[in-house]
Amino acid sequence: MSRWSRSRVRCCLAVLAAALSLGFTAPGSAPRAGEPYPGPYWVNPVGPAARQAAEWRGAGRAADAELIERISLRPQADWPRPEGIEQSVRALTGDAARAGRVPVLVAYNIPHRDCGGLSQGGAEDAAAYRTWIEAFARGIGDRPATVIVEPDAIAHLVSGCPGAPSAERLSLLAHAVGQLKRGPATKVYLDTGHSGWVTDQSTLLEPLRKAGVEQADGFSLNVSAFQTTASSAEYGHRLSAALGGKHFVIDTSRNGNGPYTGGEDPWCNPPGRALGTPPTAATGDALIDAYLWVKRPGESDGTCRGGPQAGRWWPEYALGLARAVGGPSATGTA
Q: What's the pLDDT band for 51 if we cut at 50, 70, 90?
A: very high
pLDDT at 315: 98
Which amino acid belongs to residue 72? Answer: S
What residues form DSSP beta bridges with 190? 149, 219
Which residues, 6+ apart, have CB-to-CB distance to 166 below 8 Å? 157, 207
Q: What's the pLDDT band for 28 if we cut at 50, 70, 90?
A: very low
From the candidates 64, 95, 114, 289, give the one annotated as an active-site residue.
Answer: 114
| Three-class secondary structure of residue 278 per DSSP | coil
pLDDT at 334: 29
Bond from prior residue into 278 cis (ω within 30 degrees of 0): no
Q: What's the pLDDT band for 162 if we cut at 50, 70, 90?
A: confident
The answer to whether residue 313 scores a pLDDT higher than 50 is: yes
Question: Rounded mean pLDDT of 302-308?
Answer: 96
Task: Render pLDDT for 121-150 as a digit per residue (tens, 0 to 9).
Answer: 799 999 999 999 999 999 999 999 999 999
Question: Rounded mean pLDDT of 261-288?
Answer: 96
Which residues, 6+ apart, have CB-to-CB distance to 250 below 8 Å? 220, 221, 222, 229, 232, 233, 236, 288, 290, 291, 292
pLDDT at 83: 95
Residue of 70, 44, 73, 68 lying closest to 57 (CA atoms):
68
d(CA 279, CA 95): 19
200 catalytic per annotation: no
From the candidates 64, 78, 95, 152, give the one annotated as an active-site residue.
Answer: 152
Query: Which pTM was predicted?
Result: 0.87
Question: Rounded mean pLDDT of 259-281?
Answer: 95
114 catalytic per annotation: yes
pLDDT at 75: 96
The answer to whether residue 44 scores a pLDDT higher than 50 is: yes
Q: What is the mean pLDDT of the chain?
A: 88
pLDDT at 113: 87
Which residues, 6+ apart, have CB-to-CB distance to 312 below 8 Å? 299, 300
191 catalytic per annotation: no
